[in-house]
Structure 1
Amino acid sequence: MSKYYIAVDIGASSGRLMLSQIKNRKMVLEEIHRFKNGFKMEDGHDRWDIDHLISEILAGLKKVKQRGIDKVTLGIDTWAVDYVLVGEDGKKLSNPISYRDARTKDAVEELTASISKEEIYKKTGIQFQDFNTLYQLYKEDKDLLDEAKYIMLVPDYIGYVLTGKAVTEVTNASTTQMLNLRHGLFDNKLLDEIGVASEKFPPLVDAGTYLGQVKEDLKEANDLPEVRVITVATHDTASAVVGAPGKGHDWAFLSSGTWSLLGEELRIPENGHEAYLENYTNEWGAYGTYRFLKNIMGMWVVQCIQREYDGKYSFPQLAELAGQVKPFEQFIDINDDRFTNPESMIKELQAYCKEHGQKVPKTPGELVMAAYSNLALFYANQISKLGQILDQKIETLNIVGGGSNVALLNQLTADLAQIKVVAGPGEATAIGNIMVSMISNGDVKNLKEGRQLIADSFDLKEFEPKTNEYSQVLKDYQAFLEK
């Protein structure tokens, strides 16, 4: 009898349940349920509707049962840093606030007035972003914090609601900027700085840990199959890197979705001075690895542009329009905080170009090409810096996630960085989620074998550099960023 696996994979704009099994020595993947996600203003903050997400997961599992599948193994991954405060009665105290909420503006500067950035980085190896959980908790309502029994990251909370078991999975916990690299635990000095007791976090567990069965009352009320829950690599980027079919030791990854995460998988973290200056992060990965990476704005820019045209254009249509426009007509620091959550991405891009004396993009094609051009420039620049920090020549860039489907962006990146790009799989996050469950269940031996299975199972596209005419463009862009 085939063993069935479910990945619950939830991003900032949507979530889905992906069904998988191994057939004829290949991993087969099928989307079985999709639903919308997004934050909205509630009680003065941008908040996630966490109950909606859980109800959609149950609806998806009911569909699985209706397919005649009576037993599945399930893993959950979501975005990072956001958390749910849980009271003594086991229920949430409020809906979780989104990392894009404005409450943490200036929080980094305020907190680092009492403990230096250098000390925080030496302890944690995590990049400075004002939405890191450390700064969210620093700005949290102290009365609400006092009332909380648990502080639970979003995927851990969902697992808790499903099984009744409370844990803190390490790949996601590392993104909080509160785990100590040396000790592997929450850093008490950092917790003291923000007035949070370590006891409020459930026990730390590694990716691949068995969590429990979905509770009987949920199973009966919703007509669900028997569901065995594994705590997988619950941070979506950690799952995406598991799902990246990299080989050898000279490859880098680019997890391309709402955010772009570019880096390498290391066995020993790199939290030296150069990494600190470049704001690289050492997020913990599955199986004793570290994701040494740079956080880049990503497809969020294009998603916002598409939304502002009221869905008139699909993403493939926007990419086609962009392909008709000359690249590199303007230089934009795509990682500027002003693009994190603007009222209008189009107006913000245009205002930036005006302020810097750049050609102002106006048409949908021009706007999207401006986004793709500057993402490719940023990627190429960071590939160069990554190699310098690690003293290593990177031969291949494995691009996974939804952005791996944008051939125009893949080719621009290959040409600028003068590197081989391997694109796919697009569903790497769900695939990596499931792969951890497969390894946990013993159906796959280890990560190396798992990545070979992924490479054998999914369509991968290769992009070799076609030209080196953009070398001066990249140098000019680097000079622009250094001004």
Structure 2
Amino acid sequence: MKRVAAVDLGASSGRVMLGSVGPEVLELRELNRFWNGPVRVRGTLHWDILHLYRSILEGLHLAGSLDGIGIDSWAVDYGVLDPDGRLIGNPVHYRDSRTDGVLERVVERVPANDLFAVTGLQQLPFNTIYQLAAGDLPASASTLLMVPDLLAYWLTGEASGERTNASTTQLYDVRARDWSAELISRVGLPRRIFPELREPGDVIGTVLPDETGLAPGIPVVAVGSHDTASAVVAVPAADDRFAYISSGTWSLVGLELDAPVLTDAARQANFTNEGGVDGRTRFLRNVMGLWILQECQRVWSDDDLAGLLRDAAAAPPFAVLIDPDAPEFLAPGNMPARIEEHCRATGQEPPRSRGAVVRCILESLALAYRRTLRAAQTIADRDVDVLHVIGGGSQNELLCQLTADACGVPVLAGPVEASALGNVLVQARALGEPFPDLRGMRALVRSTHSLRRYDPQGKPADWDAAESHVFGTR
């Protein structure tokens, strides 16, 4: 039996989980859960990285004896070290406005076709390339580390990168599976700051006992350090004919493939090819996700999600719909007011109750999932028999049912803690557990975790009409 700690950081909360892995055993126990979110200082949104690190150490101190530690987090954000290994400033949050207009400036220098041909990445205004091109890279910068790599550096003293998170930067050559020196140069960045890359399953180093207060000799293992890469490891699929939605603050909707899809159709549909564990490709699109609902709850000061979902289930269907990927929904703010504004701008009467607002959000998300899934299947020439919804959104029964109805395929919901499970499984294999491949890991997830099935209901023609209403002018 292996006992490992999974540090799993999402865009709104973090957790340290104790994982136990052995023959027919895959268990998680939460050791510490803590807040994560933006902190605005003098007009800039930052991550409170020292709070995160302290909270991680508090969780690790509760774990007892450990065989390993692995860290996964959200993508694109980073810290910069000076030549002495000290962090220069607090990492900036991807929702900060400093990247406004930067994408357009970069594309003037490096055309979108060239970017996609090398990186295979979806054009998102907060990708690492645009954050760096915003012009705030300090002159003393020596090493750039993505968030999980920075935390691993503080634990071990070893500075390196991990491929799945590097693949989200839009500075990574998806074919060569390494940093793209050409793109880095064309954007005007120094190649020397980008660290050597490791594979998921490589040992980064061992913890520094004097720095961390942890027992000496505990290995820190590179996992799929992009949380979606870890989550996809734990998709409980029985074969390759599946799609997935990693559902949380963001929704990552896509397929797992053997190789990237770099066609013009993929570029025009704004799909992304991100690195996965064991050299797989996560062919997907980012959809805004439950962020819109979370912001509504924050503005309403209403944490009764169950009550809101009951009211939403009783609200009339298709009364009002939005495009959840519209740019006005990206930044923090008064989301109910933005929904009202969006509705008026699109000739719709805004929803009048909180239940109607929630219904609008969830039906609109289901439509975005439907559109994305159908495009992915067409572009990748892949048929799908089942859609796995993993992560926190798998607990949202109304959204899961609407997703099955919209997509026209059965939805299997769970596991909830998919990122932590994938993190634990990759560590366990690196430490000697006999998992020959992803299929073996997924079989263990299936045999140890309960899933809930949602079969399609309703009339497909209603969803056809709704999709035409929201996306027909695109």
Query: Do they fold alike, i.e. is TM over 0.5?
Result: yes
- 1:75 counterpart = 2:66: no
How far off is 1:225 after superposition? 7.3
**Secondary structure of 2:178's partner?**
coil
Number of the residue aligned with 1:304: 295
**Secondary structure of 2:351's partner?**
coil
**Secondary structure of 2:179's partner?**
coil
TM-score (norm 2): 0.97
How far off is 1:417 after superposition? 1.4
Residue identity in the other structure for 1:462: R
How far off is 1:384 after superposition? 1.4
**Secondary structure of 1:404's partner?**
helix
Matches within 5 A, 1:178-189: 178-189=171-182
Residue identity in the other structure for 1:182: R
- Range moving further from structure 2, 179-188 or 202-211: 179-188
330, 343, 347: which is aligned to 2:333?
A: 343
293, 303, 321: which is aligned to 2:311?
A: 321
1:31/1:225 CA distance change after superposition, 3 Å? farther
- The 2-side partners of 1:404 and 1:305 are apart by 19
**Secondary structure of 2:121's partner?**
coil
- Range moving further from structure 2, 322-331 or 287-296: 322-331
455, 468, 473: which is aligned to 1:464?
A: 455
- 1:34 counterpart = 2:65: no
Number of the residue aligned with 2:444: 453
Number of the residue aligned with 1:122: 117
278, 282, 287: which is aligned to 1:287?
A: 278
How far off is 1:313 after superposition? 3.0
TM-score (norm 1): 0.95
Number of the residue aligned with 2:18: 19
218, 236, 241: which is aligned to 1:250?
A: 241
How far off is 1:288 after superposition? 0.7
Q: In percent, how many aligned pairs have the same letter?
A: 37
Residue identity in the other structure for 1:323: A
State whether residues 256 and 280 of structure 2, in contact with CA within 8 Å, keep that contact through their aligned partners in structure 1.
Answer: yes
Tell me the alpha carbon deviations over residues 345-366 of structure 1, each in whole angstroms, 9 at most, x when there is no partner: 1100111011111131132211
- The 1-side partners of 2:259 and 2:124 are apart by 23
Number of the residue aligned with 2:142: 149
- The 2-side partners of 1:42 and 1:444 are apart by 48
How far off is 1:43 after superposition? 4.0
Number of the residue aligned with 2:9: 10
**Secondary structure of 1:255's partner?**
strand
- The 1-side partners of 2:472 and 2:117 are apart by 25
**Secondary structure of 1:388's partner?**
helix
Number of the residue aligned with 2:94: 99
Residue identity in the other structure for 2:425: M
Residue identity in the other structure for 1:10: L
- 1:388 counterpart = 2:368: no
253, 264, 276: which is aligned to 1:273?
A: 264
- The 2-side partners of 1:213 and 1:392 are apart by 42
248, 252, 265: which is aligned to 1:261?
A: 252
178, 185, 192: which is aligned to 2:185?
A: 192
- The 2-side partners of 1:225 and 1:70 are apart by 11
Tell me the alpha carbon deviations over residues 19-57 of structure 1, each in whole angstroms, 9 at most, x when there is no partner: 111366121111111111111112431001111111111
- Range moving further from structure 2, 173-182 or 255-264: 173-182
**Secondary structure of 1:155's partner?**
helix
Tell me the alpha carbon deviations over residues 413-460 of structure 1, each in whole angstroms, 9 at most, x when there is no partner: 111211011100011011011111011112141321110000111110
Note the aligned Cα RMSD (angstroms): 1.5
- The 2-side partners of 1:303 and 1:480 are apart by 22
Gaps (5+ residues) in structure 2? none
State whether residues 70 and 225 of structure 1, in contact with CA within 8 Å, keep that contact through their aligned partners in structure 2.
Answer: no
Number of the residue aligned with 1:481: 471
Gaps (5+ residues) in structure 1? none
How far off is 1:71 after superposition? 2.7
Number of the residue aligned with 1:241: 232
- The 2-side partners of 1:8 and 1:288 are apart by 22
Number of positions where the alignment pairs a residue of Structure 1 with one of Structure 2: 472
Residue identity in the other structure for 2:108: A
Matches within 5 A, 1:199-214: 199-214=192-207
- The 2-side partners of 1:402 and 1:481 are apart by 27
- The 1-side partners of 2:199 and 2:398 are apart by 38
Number of the residue aligned with 1:379: 369
- Range moving further from structure 2, 242-251 or 471-480: 471-480
How far off is 1:130 after superposition? 0.7
- The 2-side partners of 1:465 and 1:330 are apart by 21
- The 2-side partners of 1:181 and 1:24 are apart by 35
Number of the residue aligned with 1:356: 346
